[in-house]
């Protein structure tokens, strides 16, 4: 079995201890970091589909998520540029009620790879916490919101509203994303940008600092 195939299998089975070394092995063999990432994302998709069919359960999703996190930790130094003056400042978080953080972490990493300094407020972040962060950090020009559940999509709207009500809407651009989110929803809640994946989010955020 090839290293990437093995990695895919180990992520699906939630073999956390083996995932990091396999990512390192793939890098040593000259695999493209993006390809390595894609294999792990794909493995998570397989688990998600199995969950939808009732063939996998929350514990399986959880161990797969931990395995993927162990893998991305090894990839991070390869993906993220270091040194240099930041291109700009931003903040990211998964919205209130939502505990999914793998996609959010990937978006953060890809944004960091563009030289943007981005604070991570974590998961289950209340609208007030975003408002507080922006208030205390006037250098922060972009807010990135992630939601993975249809039930937490309204929290995206609530967060945009809270920022507006705090009088901070003109100070920041708001980017939204996550599997159930689309451009139509982003427009509906008045976000400035929707991007479907981490790579696109990183490309998009840079444009905000150029204007």
Order of strands across the sheet with 140-146?
Answer: 116-120, 88-94, 140-146, 173-177, 193-194
Query: Is the CB of 85 or the CB of 131 nearer to ligand B1M?
Result: 131
Strands (E), the chain: 88-94, 116-120, 140-146, 173-177, 193-194
Task: Quote the longest CA-to-CA distance of the chain.
Answer: 56
Query: Is the CB of 128 or the CB of 203 nearer to ligand B1M?
Result: 203
In whole angstroms, how close is the CB of 46 to ligand B1M at the nearest point? 8
In whole angstroms, how close is the CB of 111 to ligand B1M at the nearest point? 9
Query: Is the CB of 61 or the CB of 85 nearer to ligand B1M?
Result: 61
Query: Is the CB of 13 or the CB of 28 nearer to ligand B1M?
Result: 13
In whole angstroms, how close is the CB of 62 to ligand B1M at the nearest point? 4
Q: Which residues contact 159 (CB under 8 A, 6 or more apart)?
A: 95, 96, 127, 130, 143, 145, 174
In whole angstroms, how close is the CB of 185 to ligand B1M at the nearest point? 12
Is residue 111 within 8 Å of residue 90, measured between CB atoms?
Answer: yes
List residues near ligand B1M by CB under 6 A: 41, 44-45, 47-48, 51-52, 58, 61-62, 65, 97-104, 106-107, 144-146, 148-151, 175-180, 195, 197-198, 201
């Amino acid at each position: 079995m090839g290293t990437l195939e093995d990695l895919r299998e180990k992520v699906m089975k939630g073999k956390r201890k083996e995932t990091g070394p396999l990512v390192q092995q793939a890098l040593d063999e000259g695999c493209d970091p993006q390809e390595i990432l894609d294999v792990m994302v794909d493995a998570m998709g397989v688990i998600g589909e199995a969950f939808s069919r009732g063939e996998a359960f929350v514990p399986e999703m959880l161990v797969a998520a931990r395995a993927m996190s162990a893998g991305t930790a090894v990839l991070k130094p390869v993906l993220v540029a270091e040194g240099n003056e930041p291109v700009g400042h931003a903040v990211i978080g998964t919205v209130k009620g939502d505990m999914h953080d793998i996609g959010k972490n990937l978006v953060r990493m890809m944004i960091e790879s563009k030289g943007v300094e981005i604070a991570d407020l974590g998961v289950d972040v209340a609208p007030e916490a975003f408002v507080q962060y922006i208030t205390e950090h006037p250098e922060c020009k972009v807010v990135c919101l992630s939601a993975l559940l249809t039930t937490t999509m309204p929290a995206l709207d609530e967060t945009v509203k809270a920022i507006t009500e705090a009088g901070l809407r003109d100070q920041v651009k708001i980017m939204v994303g996550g599997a159930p989110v689309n451009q139509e929803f982003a427009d509906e809640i008045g976000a400035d940008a929707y991007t479907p994946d981490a790579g696109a989010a990183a490309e998009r955020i840079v444009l905000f600092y150029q204007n």
